Amino acid sequence: MNASKKIHKSDFLVIGSGIAGLSFALKTAQNFKDATITIITKNEKNECNTKYAQGGISTVWDKTVDSFEQHIEDTLLAGDGICDEKIVKMVVEEAPERLQELIDWGTKFDKTTNGNYSLGREGGHSQDRILHHKDITGAEIERALIEKVEKAENITFLTYHYAIDLITEHQVKKQQTKRQEKITCYGAYVLDEKKSIVKTFSAKVTMLATGGNGQVYSTTTNPVIATGDGIAMAYRAKAEISDMEFIQFHPTALFNPGEYPAFLISEAVRGEGAILRDYYGERFMKKYDDREELASRDIVARAIDNELKKSGTPHVYLDCTHLDYKAFKKHFPNITEKCMSLGIDVRKDYIPVSPAQHYICGGVNINKKGKTSLKNLYASGEVTRSGLHGANRLASNSLLEGLVFSNNAYENLKKRFHKIKEPINVPVWNDSGVVKNMEKILITHDRNEVKTIMSNYVGIVRSNERLLRAERRLRVLYEDNKRLYDHSELSTDLCELRNLITTAYLITQFSKNRKENRGGFYSADLV
Ligand code: FAD
Ligand code: SIN
């Protein structure tokens, strides 16, 4: 692997091109006209969790039937007692303004025949409050944001650029850093995947918007890019991390063995009245929660898991046969088509579904301004722990979180950007010590092993014994990966594996430390 000797300088370095990264870059570009903004992303411009979002974005849009108080209450209830109430209030109250901005940037949300926005419902919401674009809301948001970003003259958008590590005093002053210490972020080392060289990007401000880490599990709705790079990079740079034990499993991923990632059957389908039935056709949600199919996700996913364990069957069913097909197809064309392609006609067939990893509630700690514990490192979106979600995220609050914290970060930088000095003495990437490539297949084996460990031992229902097993096995993988990492030529696969192991280990450790069941965390030993 060659290291480029050039330092790529910009005022703002944005890592990631989902809703969090793009909305931050756009705002910054529009308002700091003389500033230079570089977005790096590890795949195609639009390949990210955002692109696959189906249900939509929650906001109190129609105050004649809904209120901020109700949205706040629903978020707090879903979060199971550990949301930060001030943050929840701030996000909910800012939501309409951010949604209007997204609309002004060109995002099209569905409207009813009378011209008002069509508002959907999902689990845990007491009102219809979800703006959506059919069942492909995320793809529409990415389309609109990318179109806008491409027009901004002060943004450079680099695809297939993979951030390896953040640059801090550790590299700049060659000194060991400790968590809790004042540490500054000066940019990132980035692998140009097409040229196979490591570039050094220095920046006054770095925005971490790298999304989640669903790929640590065997069954996930997250695309293959979701490998927890941002959380792992921030952890190595000694940023504060928390709430990693709160993994959200979506109750209704399409059961289609061999398909990876799992295709989602949006919760909005249950919002329209779809019913869960066990393998033998019986309804079962009443046994678990009065809200039945529209209880919050943690409750529904655990209920399904319990039914599957009791019956030994591989999936349950989602019954849409009683719904108005014309209206269903209009709202969910993508889901209808997907089912049809597998021979499932939703007019007469039940859809086979089972839970799949979907979202991580924890991550890099940020305050309400989007600031991490490292100076000049901001973060937004799924990579963060902002206090909004607590132990379990309310459906369709995630895209919203990205929008709000990216905006808040920008607002904060309006006040302090002029005081931030350009980084000096940033060293280029050190590529010494590489011996030769080890067999690539080892990386594949290890990646599969992480998934198996996490799915077997750190899933919906955990236990002390399971967590211990996971911890031991992950330690071995960590050692093996360290040897590979220290002696092989760098590749995206290898770096991703390193980050998957790190975030899997963090989830396990945080789970071991949790002493009560809450939201997305459940241990059979704590009942
Ligand atoms: P992402 O959109 O995941 O973007 C992360 C970006 O970082 C990507 O561009 C990625 O390539 C880049 N990146 C990562 N690592 C690196 C690296 N090392 N170097 C360079 N670039 C990197 N939420 C809702 O609110 N409503 C919904 O309806 C909804 N539906 C969903 C449906 C599905 C199938 C899934 C998977 C999620 C859904 N979610 C939904 C959750 C939501 O989509 C995500 O939480 C949200 O989009 C995260 O946005 P983000 O910008 O933080 O991250
Ligand atoms: C869905 O459409 O069910 C996903 C919504 C979300 O993750 O918030």
What is the SS3 assignment for 145? Answer: helix
Distance (angstroms) between ligand 2 centre and the Cα of 51 equals 12
**Quick one: pLDDT band at residue 4, thresholds 50, 70, 90?**
confident
Q: How confident is the model at residue 276 (pLDDT cuts 50, 70, 90)?
A: very high
Determine which residue's CA is closest to atom 1 belonging to ligand 2.
266
Within-domain flag for 221: yes
Using DSSP's 3-state secondary structure scheme, residue 224 falls into coil
Which atom of ligand 2 is nearest the CA belonging to 397? 8
The CA-CA-CA angle for residues 8, 13, 17, to 5°, reads 120
Question: Minimum-distance ligand to the CA of 406?
Answer: 1
pLDDT cut 90: percent of the chain above it: 93
Distances (CA, A) of 211 to 156, 246, 283: 20, 15, 35
At residue 92 the predicted structure's pLDDT band, cuts being 50, 70 and 90, is very high
User: Which atom of ligand 1 is least distant from the CA of 164?
Assistant: 18
Within this chain, do residues 48 and 143 fall inside the same structural domain, yes or no? yes
407 assigned to some structural domain: yes
Last residue of a domain, one of 355, 379, 395: 355
Residue 359 CA: nearest ligand 2 atom is: 7
Element (H, E) at 492: helix 492-513
Is 236 among the domain residues?
yes
User: What is the C-alpha to C-alpha distance for residues 436 and 433, in angstroms, rounded to an integer?
Assistant: 9
117 part of a folded domain: no
Return the pLDDT at 432.
73
| Together in a domain, 508 and 393 | no
pLDDT of amino acid 72: 98
> Domain residues for 488?
440-526
Q: Residue 471: is its pLDDT beyond 80? A: yes
Q: Which of 98, 129, 270, 297 is catalytic?
A: 297
Helix axes 464-487, 492-513, angle to 10 degrees: 150
Residue 6 domain flag = yes
* Ligand 1 pocket list (CB less than 6 A): 15-21, 40-43, 47-50, 52-57, 137-138, 162-163, 209-211, 221-222, 225, 229-230, 264, 359, 381-383, 396-399, 402
Residue 9 belongs to some domain of the structure: yes
For 476, how many CA atoms within 13 A lie in the half-sphere containing its CB?
10
Q: Are 412 and 375 in contact (CB under 8 A)?
A: no
| pLDDT tops 90 at residue 415 | yes
Q: Are 321 and 185 found together in one domain?
A: no
Q: Which amino acid is at 453?
A: I
Any idea what the Cα angle at residue 22 is, between residues 387 and 53, rounded to 5°?
65
Mutate to test the pocket of ligand 2, among 19, 264, 389, 403 (most ligand atoms within 8 A of CB): 264
What's the chain's length in residues? 527
Q: Answer yes or no: do 458 and 514 share one domain.
A: yes
Whether pTM exceeds 0.95: yes
pLDDT band at residue 438, thresholds of 50, 70 and 90? Answer: confident
Contact by Cβ (8 Å): 9, 30: no
170 and 50 in a common domain = yes
Domain end call among 335, 355, 375: 355
Does pLDDT of 454 surpass 90?
A: yes
Q: Is 297 a catalytic residue?
A: yes
Tell me the CA–centroid distance for residue 57 and ligand 2, in Å: 9
Q: How many domains does the chain have?
A: 3
- What average pLDDT does the segment 402-430 reach? 96
Q: What is the mean pLDDT of residues 212-224?
A: 98
Residues 328, 257, single domain; the answer is yes
pLDDT higher than threshold 80 for residue 465: yes
pLDDT of residue 270 exceeding 70:
yes
Max intra-chain CA distance, the chain: 67
* Ligand 2 center–CA 490 separation, angstroms: 35
208 plus 335 within the same structural domain: no
Judged by its nearest atom, the ligand closest to the C-alpha of residue 297 is: 2
Q: Same domain, yes or no, for 6 and 147?
A: yes
DSSP 285: G
DSSP-derived secondary structure letter, 95: H
Residue 496: give its domain's CATH number: 1.20.58.100
Q: Which atom of ligand 1 is nearest to the CA of 264?
A: 34
Residue 66 lies in a domain: no
Give the residue whose CA is nearest to atom 6 of ligand 1: 16
Which CATH number do you get for residue 36?
3.50.50.60
Nearest to 396 by CA among 15, 61, 45, 39: 61
Place of tokens 């089912």: 339
Residue 227 sits in the same domain as residue 153: yes
Residue pair 155/346 in contact (Cβ under 8 Å)? The answer is no
Distance 252 CA to ligand 2 centre (A): 10
Report pLDDT for 174. Answer: 80
Q: Does 54 sit in the ligand 2 pocket, CB within 6 Å?
A: yes
In this structure, the strands spanning 161-167 and 187-192 are antiparallel
- 148 with 280, same domain: the answer is no
**Are 227 and 146 contained in the same domain?**
yes
Is residue 251 within 6 Å of ligand 2 at its C-beta? Answer: no
Q: Are residues 320 and 306 in the same domain?
A: yes
Please state, in angstroms and rounded to a whole number, the distance separating the CA atoms of residues 265 and 331: 12
Q: Of 330, 355, 380, which residue sits at a domain end?
A: 355
User: Measured in whole angstroms, how far is the alpha carbon of residue 259 from the centre of its chain?
Assistant: 20
Q: Across residues 246-275, what is the average pLDDT?
A: 97
Per-residue pLDDT, 436 = 64
Nearest residue by C-alpha to atom 47 in ligand 1: 50
Q: Would 85 be classed as within a structural domain? A: no
